[in-house]
């Protein structure tokens, strides 16, 4: 069960984001539902730590293991249909080869090219925190 719930004020969604970097570039993802890019991640399940959630989500979505290097930022954002809290971590690739299992497209962007794509609003906050 996901850590998502409804209140009289609206829906709450707890998520995690993996800022996967190779030291010079950041992995970004998107799907066909809109034109925005984001850092890969997903919902935290009840009883999971955010670290466990990010490792699970990346295995599910990219079929690869990652190493969590450092906590980066917690972003809160009010989308029209829900309130998002997203804990983001700087990560590096571990074992395996990237396989897009849930995304239409991914790209490695250099730090000076991060502003060349359209980001989901909450992910813009994540990008602002990157110092590469």
pTM of the complete model: 0.88
> What pairs with residue 7 in β-bridges?
10
Q: Tokens 């993802």 label which residue?
A: 29
How do residues 40-91 score in pLDDT, each as one tens digit? 899 999 999 999 999 999 998 888 899 999 999 999 999 999 999 999 999 9
CA distances (Å), 73 to each of 19, 96, 124, in order?
10, 26, 12
Secondary structure in 3-state letters for 35-49: CCEECEEEECECCCC
Helices and strands: H and E segment counts in the chain: 2, 7
How do residues 3-47 score in pLDDT, each as one tens digit? 888 988 889 999 999 999 988 899 988 876 778 888 889 999 999
According to the model, what pLDDT value does residue 67 have? 96
β-strand 10-20 against 83-93: which pairing, if any?
Answer: parallel
3-state secondary structure of 74: strand
Decide if pLDDT at 96 tops 80: no
- HSE-CB of 105 using CA atoms within 13 angstroms: 12
């Amino acid at each position: 069960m996901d850590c998502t719930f409804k209140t009289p004020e609206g829906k709450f969604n707890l998520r995690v984001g993996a800022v996967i970097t190779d030291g010079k570039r950041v992995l970004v993802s998107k799907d066909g539902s809109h034109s925005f890019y984001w850092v890969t991640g997903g919902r935290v399940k009840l009883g999971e730590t955010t670290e466990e959630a990010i490792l699970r989500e990346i295995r599910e979505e990219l079929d690869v293991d990652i190493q969590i290097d450092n906590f980066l930022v917690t972003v809160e954002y009010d989308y029209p249909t829900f309130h998002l809290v997203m804990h983001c971590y700087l990560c590096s690739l571990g074992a395996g080869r990237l396989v897009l299992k849930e995304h239409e497209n991914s790209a490695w962007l250099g730090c000076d090219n991060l502003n060349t794509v359209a980001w989901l609003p909450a992910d813009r906050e994540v990008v602002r925190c990157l110092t590469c």
